[in-house]
Each structure stands twice: as C-alpha cells, then as structure tokens.
Amino acid sequence: MAPGGITGRTRPTKPKKQARAQKRKRDDVDVEKLEQAVAELDPKGTYKSFADLPLSESTKAGLKACHFAALTDIQAKAIPLALKGMDILGAAKTGSGKTLAFLVPVLENLYRAQCVGADAGLSAMIISPTRELAIQIFEVLRNVGKRGHLFAAGLIIGGKSLQEERDALARMNIVVCTPGRILQHLSQTAAFNVDNLRMLVLDEADRILDMGFQRDVDAIVEYLPKDRQTLLFSATQTKRVSDLARLSLKEPEYVSVHESASTATPQTLQQNYILTPLPQKLDTLWSFLQSSKKSKIIVFLSSGKQVRFVYEAFRHMQPGIPLLHLHGRQRQTARLDITSKFAAAKHSCLFATDVAARGLDFPAVDWVVQVDCPEDADTYIHRVGRTARYERDGRAVLFLDPSEEAGMLARLAARKVPIERIGVREKKQSSIRDQLQHMCFKDPQLKYLGQKAFVSYVRSVHIMRDKEVFRLGELALEEFAASLGLPGAPRIKFLKGDNAKELKNAPRRGVSPSSEESEDGEQKGEEDAAPQKPKPKKQDAVRTRYDRMFERRNQDVLADHYTKLVKDDEDGFNGDDQAPEDDFLSVKRRIAVDTDTDTDADADPEDTTPTAPPAEAKKTVRIPGAAQALVIDSKRREKLLKSKKKLSKLKGGNKKLVFDDEGNAHEIYELEDEEAFRQRGAPEEQRERFVREARERVGVADVGDKALAKEKKREKREKRKRREREEEGAGGVEVERDGEGADAFADFVRDTAGLVEEGGDEEERPQKKRPKKWFEDEDSEEEGTRNGKSKRRKAAERAEPETLEDLEALASGLLGA
Ligand code: ADP
Ligand code: MG
C-alpha cells in the first residue's frame, strides 16, 4: 500500500512527491507513538480538552484552526472509547457536539491504520438521513481534516450523475452519504469495493434505523464486512436490541451524557406553546412574524404543500422579513442555495418540513416555531434543537389546537420536555383571512396551492399514529379552509380501514414512489437521493407510470369519480358536500380503474409488493364509451393508454353529434320521422323535386358566379401580360425562352383553374356549388344561411374526428356556426 497518493489527480510534481515521502516517514513514527498512547488511554478517564487526548498532529491542527479546544460532554466520553475501537451508541442533546464525537475518531483511527490513498480503498462510511445534513458533516470533516491529513473524502448524496459519483467513489477513503444513494452504488457498481471498510457511522441513528430506511440500511449492512467498528449517534437514541442486532454491534458502549439530566432539551432553550385553534394558526403566525422581524426563525409545517402555500401567500403580503422555504421536493441545487442563504442570513424566516428537523446546524437561530404539531416527542426535540445550539440561547414556540393540547403535553412531559403555555397579546393579533381570501380569489394558482395545502394537512393528521393527540374529528376543517382563503373545504375521502401507522410509514418505506403522498410528506425528500432506489424484491416486476398511477393513493382525494374506486371512510370525516370539487382539478380524461384483485387491495400499498406474481397485477381499464374493458397485460397495451388517438379508436367508432338550442345532443345525420317524410310525397317524387330545386338555385347562382369568374380571369390575364412585358423589356434571349415555357405552364394552370372556377357557385368557395343533398334540413335552403351552413358542413365533414379534441372542436364549430 502506498499511502499519500490519491489517484485521479494530476501527477504530483516532484517536490510534492518528496514532501509526501518525508511526511510518510514522519507519520510512521507518529503512528507508532500514537498507537502506544491509545493503547494506554483510559477510556473511562475524564478529559477536558482535545489536547488531553492522543490525537495526530494533523487533527489537532485542524481542531485548533476551527477554534475547538474544550471537549463537550459527549466528546469527552465518546472519543476515548471510539479511539480504542469500541462500538458506540452515543446519545446527547441537540447541539452538543456529536459531529466531532464521531469525526475525530474516524480521522484518527484511519490515520493510525494508515488507510490513506486510493489503494486503501473505502475505509469509513458516514450515513446521514438527509442530504443537507450529509453536506454539513462533510464540511466539518473537511475543515477539521484539512490541516495535514491526506485522506480522500467525498459526498455521495445524488444530484450528480451516477458515473461521476462512481469515479469519485473509487478514490475515496471516507464517504459521507445518504442511505438510498449509497445503496444504489453498492448494488450497481461492480467495482465498488467495501471489503476494507473499517468504520460505519450513523448520524441521527434512530432516524436511519426507523422504518423508513429499514430496507436500505439492512441491504447496505449486507455488503459491509462484519469486522468493523460501528458508531451510532443521535439526540434521541435507539436502544432496541433488534436494531442493534441488525447492525451486528459488538457489545456496544452506551454513552449517554444527558440521560440523568432533568430535561431532554438544552438548558438554554426556552420553550412555550400557544393555544391557537387550527383556523387561527395562520393569523397567529402572521402576527408573530410581524412582531419578530429582526429575528432568525424556522417555521415547521407538516408537509411540503403547506410550506409552499404559506410561503407564497406570505410573500405576497410583504411581511417585512426575508422569507425562504425548504422541502423535499425542491431541486437539489435550490435546497443547497436555500440552506446556505439561511445559514448566512441575519434576519430571515425559513418555512420548512421536517427535512430540516434533524442535525442541521444553522448559526444563531432565534426561534423555532412549530405551526403544525410534530408527530411525536422525538420530532419535537429535534425541531427545537435547531436553536439553542452549543450553549447559545434560543426560543421555541409550539402552536397547539385545543384538541391536541392534552395529548401532546403528556407526550412531551413523558420525554422530559419543559414547556409552558403563553398567550398572544390581543392587540398584536391580526387577521389575514380577508387578505388571503382576496388573494386566492384573484390568483387561481394560489387558491390551488391552498387547496393542496388543505388536503395535505388533513391527510397528515389522518395518518398520524398517535390518535390521542391527533383527532381529525375535532378539528374545525371548514373554518380552516376559509382561513386559508378558500371558498370551501376541498372534499376528501379516505380509504376504508386505513391503517394509520402503515400509511404514515408508507412513504418512508418508499412503497409508492410516485404517490403524491410523498410530495406531502416531509419524509420523501428527507432521505432519498437515489432516483431509482434499488429494491431487491421488486426487481422482477416491471412497474410503469401507469402502475404507479393506479397505485396512487391520492386518488381518493378530490373527485367523487375517483372515490368510486375505494370504499368510504367510516371514521368520521367525509369532507363537505358543498365542496367545489370542480375547482380543484380539471380532469380531462377520466379512466376508472379496476384491478383483478380486490379494489381495497389496490389502494393498499402493501399489496402492490411483488410477492404477488406479475400476472395477477394486470389491470383492466374501462374506457368510457368502449364496449369492453381494456386489459392491460403488456407494455404495448399500457402505451396504448397514452395515446388519445388509439383510445378513441377503441371506443367503437366516433359519433358525430350536433347540439340543439337546449343543448341536447343529436347525431348529425339523424333520420327524420318516417311518417312526416312520407307525408310529403313519394320518395322518388321528393328526390326529383329536390334535384329540380337545387338545379334552379345553382342556375341562379351560376349567372353571377360566372360573371365574377370571368372578371377574375381577365384580371389575372392582364396581370400576367403586364409582368411578361416587364420581363421582356429587361431580359435577354434566355429569359425569352424561359418565358415561353412558363407561358405554356401558365396556360395549363389557367385552364385547370378555370375549370374549377367555372363550376364555383361562390367566389373562392368552389365547394359551395355542391347541390344540397336531399336529407339536409329545410332552413339550409334559405340563401341567407348558406354561409353559415357551409361552415357547419365543413366542420361536420372534416375527416373522421380522431381525438377527443377533434370532437370538441367539431362540437364547438357546430355550436358557434
Ligand atoms: P449535534 O450533532 O450534537 O446536534 P453539532 O455537532 O452539530 O451538534 O454541534 C453543534 C455546534 O457546536 C456546532 O456549531 C459546532 O461547531 C459546535 N461545537 C461542537 N463541538 C464543539 C467544541 N468542542 N467546542 C466548541 N464548539 C463546538
Ligand atoms: Mg448532529
């Protein structure tokens, strides 16, 4: 192994090479000394500063450059143990310096083992639940490691092409990553070798070990060598034996520095709650912002859609404080941009989902405002942990609906969270309802966002596990909708027998990758950088857009039409019947869906797992107007659904329709009543009469038309002659000859044109000369309506309408005639 060199870079220049060689020699001595010092280190001793620990010169220099001198409690306890190679379960409050508690041992242990350079391969893997946190960890690693260490470290969080990341990975000694993306590399990159991995770190370990990442983490661990050191850190630590077994920890040391503390949150954090009924939340939030314009604030909401709506609405109202918003559905670059903006801002308000709840270390946040109640006490602790970090002050406010108060307070008390109620000063409280209503009325986009926000909020409450805290039935939803500026509450129905727990975790498990649900949920963006998360069990079943479309759980929202497919929810909430559902989404083409299996199962994400053989997963689609349901059993059939043209063919031939004044549809060529027809005389007689009349009409029209046509012909001829004369005057022989040829051709054209014109019954409208057919109705005989009629006929006779749009155009053409 040749330590020092990092492949992939340009060749080091000679002086550099020499310097490195010297450094290596120095290191060899250094390493020996360090090994001995670590061997002698008392892992349970008391240490006050980094200087008390046997650390390499490079690490010491790095720490010094970052102004880290004294150890925090967790660092003092965890680092000595970790240096000695123990597995660790580290728990300490938010903002207490856990990052260094694992980064320092990573740097040191790899250094002492000289796992440096490309030959060493990947030696440490640090996993974070979110990209933002991964980036932050990487930054700290870089800052501390840049004084002399030669490790190649990198970030694998997606956002770059797989190939780019793959190339970088091949050179890395330390990788900081998100679970989904690293798993993608482990399973897809054949050359990605993790056999030399010595250290695995999970930051926010309880989150990474919870259900959302279960599959990914288990799969990742499968790839890693068993003989490694594992460090788990979180403010809310897992102790579940099953979790630890999954990671095959070897007699881990449980290092919990604040377990005996009287509170689970930092001492410097002041925590309060405000009782504010759901429909007044936005008023209260607005008033709060108005009174704290000179602060740095994070506002937590329960879903990305809520975040977007509140952000957009407040932005329009010019709150006097810079606004930012962060949620999982934003592009990676935007998310990066926003986090760095907020980090740098002095006064700003960031609306965020729980994507920002964990680990992020924004400097000097004054307030954490939880407008939507957190799903559990742990989430609460992590959210408020964005302020009062490392001995700084901070304040947190939780908005509670009266129905949530008792339940949530009990949960918080059980987790040792000290929180007190405060009131809002009446005169500071202002209402923005009218303003919002006005804005939603003027701006359909905003109204649409509001509707989505409403739906996603209600859903988020519905799927909460803790029913003692979240009681949907007790929320004033109609009023809440009005408070968002909506004209009524969008209608929502839920699936029967929704298992709240299942649903809550479903997006985390990624069982319905495209479901709008994930857009709602903070969860989605939170983790996964991998666009196509490899799901080993799923590989055999090919899933298409349409599969996903059919699985989409939000089908039960919005329209009755969709809800036919699922049974009614019986747990209380059925939305409101006056809901303006037509406002919500305009569905162009509605396709009712049946699966071969039970409809309920269709909606249940668990049943879409590939344990069922693909054959059973085939779908039947009823196309309105088609005689038979369409069975989707192949890709080609699925493609067919994409094409309106082909779909319309399935509908057993299109019917052309005209609409009468009452709006009733009629076939264009409707046969008239036979009785009435016969009363007008024998068919043959009628035909003759019709032909005679038509001939007369044409004859009359012809006289005028012919005169007109002659006149035009004459004009044309004169024009041509004029042009020829001009050309003759200018041109030579060649032009003359060309002229002759052209003349002959012009004559020919003129003749054919003449033929056409001859029969024309109206200028420029040669087709008008067509005698009226016998089955055309009476009023078409009136000269006055001729033009209109012909237009109508033109529309009606347009080539077979092929698409629905054609049909629409046809209908409107007929109507507008
Ligand atoms: P946690 O992961 O426990 O929430 P972090 O590791 O993010 O906390 O650290 C919180 C803050 O404390 C960071 O801004 C970090 O720079 C600072 N910090 C960590 N350790 C020390 C230390 N030993 N001395 C001074 N500041 C520290
Ligand atoms: Mg942290």
Q: Is residue 512 part of a domain?
A: no
| CB-based contacts of 675, cutoff 8 Å, min separation 6 | none
Residue 56 neighbours by CB distance under 10 Å:
21
Question: Mind giving me the DSSP string for 609-670?
Answer: STTS-GGGG-EEEEPTT-SSPEEE-SHHHHHHHH-HHHHHHHTTS---EEE-TT--EEETTP
pLDDT class of 222 with cuts at 50, 70, 90? very high
One domain for residues 248 and 351: no
Distance 179 CA to ligand 1 centre (A): 24
Domain end: 195, 229, 256, which one?
A: 256
Domain end: 210, 235, 256, which one?
A: 256
One domain for residues 216 and 305: no
Which atom number of ligand 1 is nearest to the Cα of residue 50? 23
- Token pair in block for residue 486: 């909506």
Res 244 pLDDT > 50? yes
- CB-based burial label for 66 (10 Å; 0-12, 13-18, 19+): middle
Res 124 pLDDT > 60? yes
Name the residue among 323, 261, 260 with its Cα closest to residue 297.
Answer: 323
One domain for residues 246 and 285: no
Ligand closest to Cα of 362 equals: 1
- Integer angstrom CA distances of residue 147 from 49, 120, 336: 19, 20, 26
pLDDT at 412: 97
> In this predicted structure, which of 260-269, 303-312, 356-365, 748-757 has the lowest mean pLDDT?
748-757
Distance CA 689, CA 749 (A): 38
CB 104 within 8 A of CB 201: no
Res 652 pLDDT > 50? yes
**β-strands 296-300, 88-91 pairing:** unpaired
The protein residue with its alpha carbon nearest to ligand 1, atom 26, reads 68
Q: Is residue 710 part of a domain?
A: no
One domain for residues 40 and 119: yes
Res 308 pLDDT > 70? yes
> In this predicted structure, which of 70-74, 96-100, 142-146, 702-706 has the lowest mean pLDDT?
702-706
For a mutational test of ligand 1's pocket, the pick from 100, 236, 362, 393, i.e. the residue with the most ligand atoms closer than 8 A to its C-beta, is: 100
Q: Is residue 717 part of a domain?
A: no
544-549 long-range Cβ contacts below 8 angstroms, 24+ apart? 544/635, 544/638, 545/514, 545/638, 546/619, 546/632, 546/638, 546/641, 547/608, 547/617, 547/619, 548/512, 548/513, 548/514, 548/515, 549/514
Distance 357 CA to ligand 1 centre (A): 16
Q: Is residue 704 part of a domain?
A: no
pLDDT, greater one: 97 or 1: 97
Distance 293 CA to ligand 2 centre (A): 28
- Token pair in block for residue 366: 């004054």
Res 799 pLDDT > 70? no
Distance CA 554, CA 514 (A): 11
Which atom number of ligand 1 is nearest to the Cα of residue 101? 6
pLDDT at 172: 94
Distance 574 CA to ligand 1 centre (A): 48
Which atom number of ligand 1 is nearest to the Cα of residue 66? 16
One domain for residues 198 and 313: no
Name the residue among 552, 529, 484, 563 with its Cα closest to residue 305.
Answer: 484
Residue 716 neighbours by CB distance under 10 Å:
14
The protein residue with its alpha carbon nearest to ligand 1, atom 25, reads 68
One domain for residues 129 and 248: yes
The whole-number average pLDDT for the span 204-222 is: 91
Domain end: 429, 456, 478, which one?
A: 429
pLDDT class of 192 with cuts at 50, 70, 90? confident
Task: Residue 81: give the domain boundaries.
Answer: 27-256
CB 332 within 8 A of CB 158: yes
The number of domains in the chain is 3
For a mutational test of ligand 1's pocket, the pick from 74, 201, 389, 393, i.e. the residue with the most ligand atoms closer than 8 A to its C-beta, is: 389
One domain for residues 416 and 278: yes
The protein residue with its alpha carbon nearest to ligand 1, atom 16, reads 97
> pLDDT tens digits for 46-61?
999 999 999 999 999 9
Distance CA 123, CA 109 (A): 10
Q: Is residue 487 part of a domain?
A: no
Which atom number of ligand 1 is nearest to the Cα of residue 363? 14
Q: What is the mean pLDDT of the chain?
A: 76
Residue 52 neighbours by CB distance under 10 Å:
15
> pLDDT tens digits for 491-548?
887 754 444 444 444 444 333 333 333 333 334 334 443 333 333 444 444 555 554 5
Q: Is residue 581 part of a domain?
A: no
Distance 233 CA to ligand 1 centre (A): 13
One domain for residues 211 and 324: no
The whole-number average pLDDT for the span 159-169 is: 89
pLDDT at 655: 62
One domain for residues 230 and 287: no
- Integer angstrom CA distances of residue 668 from 382, 712, 797, 810: 68, 37, 10, 11
Distance CA 504, CA 464 (A): 6
Q: Is residue 397 part of a domain?
A: yes
- As residues whose CB is below 5 A from the ion ligand 2, the structure lists 98, 359
One domain for residues 212 and 303: no
Compute φ and ψ for 450, nearest 5 degrees. Answer: -65, -40
- CB under 6 Å to ligand 1: residues? 68, 70-72, 75, 92, 94-100, 359, 361, 389-390
One domain for residues 365 and 406: yes
One domain for residues 93 and 190: yes
> pLDDT tens digits for 385-415?
999 999 899 999 999 999 999 999 999 999 9
Q: Is residue 396 part of a domain?
A: yes
Task: Give the CATH number, domain containing residue 232.
Answer: 3.40.50.300
571-602 CB burial, b ≥16 within 10 A, e <16: eebebbeebebebbeeeeeebebebebeeeeb
